[in-house]
Amino acid sequence: MARVSLVVYLAAGLFGLSAVVLLRRPRTAVRDPLTLSTCVAIVLGSLVFVCSAPLTLAAVNRLTGVPNFGAPLTYGMLCAYSCSLLILLIHWRGGPRAQVRRMVLRSIAAYVPLIAAIVVLFALGDARTERLTDLDTYYANTPYLREMILLYLIGHSAATVTMCTLCVKWSREVTGLLRSGLRLILAGSLLDVLGFQLTKYTAVAARWTGHDLDALSTQVAPPMASLGALLCSAGFVLPRLLPAVLAQVRDLRDYRRLGPLWSRVRFVSTAPKPPSAWWQLPQARLHWREVSIHDALLGLAPYFDDLVREQALAAARDEGRGAHQARIAAEAAMLADAARRAAARQEPLRTPSGYRLHATEVSGTGGLVELAQALVRPAADGAVTDKTVRTSHG
């Protein structure tokens, strides 16, 4: 019993973690019906797992003093979860606000009486013997409890079959991450239908005919339900989080690629350094480095030597580089020369260049990254830079 509960609690924790990630900005999330409905569905799914764990069932029964009180609690929670999935799909699909609201109310109107009926049937039935893992099959032939078990299974089946149908239909109309998310939801729903619901129906029907297939209900169904729920959770979260994650990965890559440029000009920058923290997102780190580099470039502008740039440009063209690559190489040579002279505390040029770097003419970090990479190109660039410096200042 403890092992089964541990597996279920772990699934609940992983399931609920995705809601925590989605709610990283609570005020924004609450105002977004899609995010809010996603989090509600995930939280309810986690509660279903927690309530269905044998240890939780035993604790609930003990606290209430009612044998098997955890059963209607779990079944009612499962029906609420099924309803929340339908509401989530309605918000995900979108449409006119009035239509969405009407469909949401219809879903609620269908499942609230279902939950009430489960509670009433449990109260009418005779469930004196506590069953923590096999209640569905143990009471499969008991009046009222038999109907309660069928009712919660049918309610859950209706929601998951509807999800499968809608996912198949919508996946033909969308592309990219949204299609991938729908396919994950479809896979999770099918796993729930085949691995959880079908095994439950089979085990209960076997009891009706005098056979014992309880292992399907007690050993096969729970892990299949857990895996299906996790797949559904991934499908709901993937289209919402993956773009942001990929953006942070790109920002981290650009942050590192700007390293050579930053190490060359950081002594010039006067931009205030923000408080460092290990949890700071790459986007914030990149923004600060970009601002600091631009500040440093402004400080080095009086040292820009057009002669160095023109000679490096000619050398790059002689090597067969295209116009843009030759320009970047020439700017890198001019910047390296300016940084050396500034570091040596030499006087700026009497006649400032007035030249604008490509990196300062374009938005984003692309231009700075190109300049940074040009600074670490093969030694041929360094030779050109040294030659031009000796020619212009020797």
Higher pLDDT, 78 or 38: 78
pLDDT digits 0-9 by tens, 149-169: 999 999 999 999 988 998 898
Residue bearing tokens 């020797």: 394
pLDDT digits 0-9 by tens, 169-185: 888 888 888 888 889 98
Q: Binning pLDDT at 50, 70 and 90, where does residue 6 land?
A: low
Per the CB < 8 A criterion, the answer to whether 290 and 257 are in contact is: no
Higher pLDDT, 349 or 335: 335
Q: Binning pLDDT at 50, 70 and 90, where does residue 25 land?
A: low
Q: Binning pLDDT at 50, 70 and 90, where does residue 248 land?
A: confident
Alpha helices in the chain (DSSP H): 2-22, 26-31, 33-52, 54-64, 70-93, 97-124, 135-138, 145-171, 176-191, 198-208, 214-215, 221-257, 259-265, 282-300, 306-318, 323-343, 366-375, 379-393
Q: Set out the domains of the chain in order of their start, with CATH numbers.
A: 2-244 (1.20.1070), 282-393 (no CATH)
Question: For the ranges 111-125, 136-150, 160-174, 325-339, which has the lowest average pLDDT?
Answer: 160-174
Please, which contacts does 121-124 make with residues 24 or more away whose CB atoms are closer than 8 Å? 121/145, 121/147, 121/148, 121/151, 122/68, 122/71, 122/72, 122/148
121 has pLDDT over 90:
yes
Q: Binning pLDDT at 50, 70 and 90, where does residue 44 land?
A: confident
19 has pLDDT over 70:
no
Structure tokens belonging to residue 86:
């339908």
Q: What is the pLDDT of residue 89?
A: 83
